Amino acid sequence: MILTVTLNPAIDKTYRTGQLIPGHVNRMESMENIPGGKGINVGKILNECSCPVTATGFLGGYTGRWIERRLGEMGIGCDFVSIGADTRCSMNVVADNGFVTEILEPGPWICPEERLVFFGKYRELVQSCDLVVLSGSAAPGLPPDIYADLVGIAKDAGKRAILDTSGETLSRGIQAGPWLVKPNRKELEYLAGHPCRTRDEVLEAARKMLENGIEWAAVSAGEKGMYLVGEREALYAAAPKVDAVNTVGCGDCACAAFALSALRGEDAGRMLRRAVAMSAASATVFGSGTVPLKLAEELMERVEIVDLFMGSL
């Protein structure tokens, strides 16, 4: 079983329109409500892949109850902490001209008592899982070192942790040494404190993260592909060309792919190939946090892995 943690869930309201014009009335062509938040997206993808999942985090109010009910209907196990404030909503506007605009609410304030309840629940859930995925922003009221604490608890229980977040929670989280961390290039530059324009600069910054006890650093380069850097390996895979519809949630697909590969004992090349293929397949559909699995399997055969020391594999 994989445990996913979402500290700031949301109802993702995904809209479709011809184009979004600031300062004008914009009438949407369609709208879809989806249980969201990065960890929840990872859980939905793993569930599609027939992998047992338990989702935890904080949920509150009508929006929180709606998310929990929908996840239950999908067959995803839920063990969230109930909070007094309402879970947030997020808006994702997909325009026919290719622009995707996200409007993200900050989320509810988590009080100290709710945080303590969550830590007690998390310690129990970690004991029965095989791997933990920690994804997304932390809700207001949570300390910046919360992911570092959660990684430490998982490691003390002998469980691997995947971390996908940003900003101060990322910089503190990596100090706890998760098994895999997945920054994009902008987040990598934040950690390095300087631009990473060349491949060598990306590799140097990624290897610097490994000094914290991290086994793998997966650096997303968006539509250009992804790097996977370990102590003895440095691999790169270009993203296969697809007709992209909505790129929101592609990074969550990569996290889900790495989690699947970890459970299956796959090697680094297979891990990277799966992550890039599932991310690309996800971009072809309207909703976030979903993957057309048949297309993902087809794309895996087209992904070329390059060993940055040895050449193509």
Cα–chain center distance at 14: 18
Q: What is the DSSP secondary structure assignment for residue 273, as one 8-state letter? A: H
Q: How far apart are CA 27 and CA 112, in angstroms?
A: 41
CA-nearest of 214, 163, 172, 215 to 191 is 172
Q: What is the DSSP secondary structure assignment for residue 198, as one 8-state letter? A: S
Looking up tokens 């904080």 gives: 58
| Alpha-helix residue ranges (DSSP H) falling in the chain | 38-48, 61-74, 112-127, 146-156, 167-173, 185-192, 199-210, 250-264, 268-282, 293-300
Residue of 12, 86, 243, 252 with catalytic role: 252
Q: What are phi and psi of 286, to 5 degrees?
A: -70, -45
Contacts of 38 (CB under 8 A, 6+ apart): 6, 135, 136, 137, 164, 251, 252, 255
The residues that bridge with 54 in the sheet, in sequence order, are: 3, 77
State yes or no: is 86 an active-site residue: no
Q: How many CA atoms lie within 13 A of 237 on its CB side?
A: 30
Q: What helix, strand, coil percent values describe the chain, rounded to 5?
A: 40, 25, 35
Token pair of 56 as six digits: 């935890």
Rounded to the nearest 10°, the torsion over CA 279, 284, 285, 290 is -20
Active site residues: 252
